[in-house]
Amino acid sequence: MSNQSDTAQRLFFSLKFTAMQQQLLLPYQRVLQQKYPAAKAVAVDNLHLTLFFLGQVTAEQKQLLVAAAKSIAMPSFELTLDTVASFSKPKILYLAPSVVARELLVLQRQVADICKAMGFNKIHDGYRPHVTLLRHVSVPEGFSQQVLPLSIVVSEFALYQSLNIEGAVRYLPLHTFSCREG
């Protein structure tokens, strides 16, 4: 078996929620879990909002991505999550903003530009910010419901590694970047 550092890693950029912010997402998850008991809840430590999914990344590419991401200048901003909706493929329920903060779009665009300049291309068309709460859930196509808004202040984003440990997915932040003025 090869050493993890010698092989490509499955990586993505994401907003980095604090442990307290992740806890604030749990009541939304619990309500949905009661309604869809057969669904699988995302582990609290894995709750995140993806900026750009990279896929397999070599150690050299990772170093270049980290160096480039350090140059991003973005002030902290408020993110309001107020809609529960679904993607039918994959079968997930998520919490999302009904109106996407301009600052989030600017940050996502800066991250995407860095990634695309290095040859990474997104799998999905268009950016749809969301926090996955439940997996393996079947809901009617186009399901969407307004919920009590949750506002959180975003002050960091990170480069995460997606690991499979004993059959469970775990997202590990490798490098954290603080939002700051330019």
How many C-beta atoms lie closer than 10 Å to residue 45's C-beta? 12
Residue 68: the pLDDT is 97
Nearest to 84, CA basis, from 75, 94, 74, 76? 94
Per-residue pLDDT 10s for the chain (182 aa) are: 344 445 889 999 999 999 999 999 999 999 999 999 999 999 999 999 999 999 999 999 999 999 999 999 889 999 999 999 998 888 899 999 999 999 999 999 999 999 999 999 866 567 899 999 999 998 887 899 999 999 999 999 999 999 998 888 899 999 999 987 65
Please give the model's pTM, rounded to 2 decimal places. Answer: 0.90
Give the pairing of strands 131-135 and 144-154.
unpaired
* pLDDT at residue number 123: 61
What pLDDT, on the 0 to 100 scale, is given for residue 4? 46
**What pLDDT is attached to residue 122?**
64
Cβ-contact 52, 112 below 8 angstroms: yes
| Contact (Cβ atoms closer than 8 angstroms) between residue 92 and residue 135 | yes
Which domains does the chain show, CATH number per domain?
4-178 (3.90.1140.10)
